[in-house]
Amino acid sequence: MKAAKVSQLKSHEEFLGNLQLSTRFSALPPSSTLAVGDEVRRLRAQGRNIHNLSGGSPDPAPPVALDFPSISHDENRLGDPRGELVLREAFAKRLSRVHGVERSGKSEIIATIGAKQAVYFSLLALLESGDEVIVIDPCWVTYAPSIALVGCRAVPVPLSAKNALDIGAIAAAVTSRTRAVLINTPHNPTGRVFTESELSSLAQLVKAKNLWLICDESFDLFTFDGRRHVSPGVFDFIRDQTILLYSFSKSFSLPSARIGMLVGPKPLVRLIANCTQQVITSVALPSQKIAYAALEKENEWTKMLRKAYQDKRDACLAMLETEPRLATHVPEGTFYVFPDIRRLGVSSAELTRHLLDKANVAVTPGVIFGGAGEAHIRINLVGPIQSINIGMKALLRGLPT
């Protein structure tokens, strides 16, 4: 019997070996940021005490309890593919109140499974095979693979030396195949908060070139030193060319709920709702209930959130200032610090491996965010300030000599 099972297994493997798998999926890389978390979990399972400065559970905790929301008998159903109307209308009011962006909750907003679905479905709705999308470099690791997955090409344009949007370079990168510009502000990984002047200049370029502007605003509540996040949604002259993306994972510390929001013109939202029906049906109702409850707490949550993360940023910067080989632009937002490591004379991948092996510290290599990120590492401030302080001390002690 055992021999028969082994024989069947070999036949099965040979059969699979002759099948063709999708080149689209085969070329898709795993998430580089999530891979760092996987390595942390693997090493901790071996008993090593790893200081994780690459991610973790948000601190402070979310503004709402994470108890599974009660679902009534009538609510045990398939949801609206656009998201429950009460949630969409609450988010529309939030956009108006917080950012001065006026959109219809009924027809211009759709709930998504995190910002990642929003990114991908936006691209599916806008692009044809062979089109190009301009992305800023460095940028979030999900953008380029999502663009490739729809059969298109990401065209990276580096930020300026001071991490500003380089409008001239973006304009020079536009070709006959360019369909969209994809940015995020506050910016992951540099921590820049792009100004109204920068965004207005970009909006004028988008208008002149008849492009789409996709803006990921997942960190919209994370602004420091009295700065204000400006949404491109306020520019009415590109209203019908603008898509805005939001994430409850970041602004409301709810990564486990897997919920985000996409805001765009009515025809686009209708197409994305059709795709949602066919692919995922709807965002889970418990997640929508948690998101709605978080919106109700936003007024009291925002001030505390900003103070907590600015305190963590300041504590991290104070320690980095003691090491002259690490040069750091002061992050204006997000929960990342992105120090320049060139004076150490090693690559970002080499330094990341060294810190993990020799100092038990996990950070993220800058190269995974694009060519312009190579000379950096990304430090994540999502965890408790005490853990960040301990991890930073270990990082500084563990730097190569």
Q: Residue 119: its pLDDT value, please?
A: 97
| pLDDT per position as a tens digit, 125-143 | 999 999 999 999 999 999 9
Residue 99: pLDDT over 70: yes
Residue 24: pLDDT over 90: no
Token pair 């190269």 is at which residue? 367
In this structure, the number of other CB atoms found within 10 A of the CB of residue 13 comes to 9
- Which of 36, 38, 25 shows the shortest CA–CA distance to 145? 25
Spatial distance between the Cα atoms of 231 and 244, rounded to a whole number of angstroms: 8
| pLDDT per position as a tens digit, 34-57 | 888 888 899 889 999 999 999 999
Q: Residue 14: its pLDDT value, please?
A: 57
Helix (H) or strand (E) holding 377: strand 377-380
H-type helices in 181-284, by residue range? Answer: 196-209, 248-251, 266-279
Q: Residue 37: its pLDDT value, please?
A: 87
Residue 1: pLDDT over 50: no
Q: Are 243 and 207 in contact (CB under 8 A)?
A: no
Token representation of residue 232: 């491109």
Amino acid letter at 153? R
pLDDT band (50, 70, 90) for residue 27: confident
pTM above 0.85, yes or no: yes
Spatial distance between the Cα atoms of 101 and 236, rounded to a whole number of angstroms: 9
Spatial distance between the Cα atoms of 369 and 374, rounded to a whole number of angstroms: 8
H-type helices in 297-379, by residue range? Answer: 298-320, 348-359
Token representation of residue 253: 């510390």
Q: Do 23-61+300-398 and 73-297 have matching folds?
A: no
Residue 8: pLDDT over 90: no
Residue 17: pLDDT over 70: no
> Mind giving me the DSSP string for 81-136?
TT--HHHHHHHHHHIIIII-----TTTSEEEESHHHHHHHHHHHHH--TT-EEEEE
Average pLDDT over residues 261-278: 97
Residue 6: pLDDT over 60: no
CATH class of 23-61+300-398: alpha beta
Q: Are 102 and 95 in contact (CB under 8 A)?
A: yes
Spatial distance between the Cα atoms of 401 and 393, rounded to a whole number of angstroms: 16
Task: Please tell us whether the domain made up of 73-297 is placed in CATH 3.40.190.10.
Answer: no
Q: Residue 11: its pLDDT value, please?
A: 53
Q: Residue 35: its pLDDT value, please?
A: 85
Q: Residue 309: its pLDDT value, please?
A: 98
Spatial distance between the Cα atoms of 187 and 192, rounded to a whole number of angstroms: 5
| pLDDT per position as a tens digit, 340-393 | 999 999 999 999 999 999 999 999 999 999 999 999 999 999 999 999 999 999
Q: Residue 15: its pLDDT value, please?
A: 54
Amino acid letter at 221? L
Average pLDDT over residues 297-306: 95
| pLDDT per position as a tens digit, 314-350 | 999 999 999 999 999 999 999 999 999 999 999 999 9
Higher local confidence (pLDDT), 10 or 218: 218
Where are the domains positioned within the chain?
23-61+300-398, 73-297
Spatial distance between the Cα atoms of 88 and 69, rounded to a whole number of angstroms: 18
Q: Residue 322: its pLDDT value, please?
A: 96
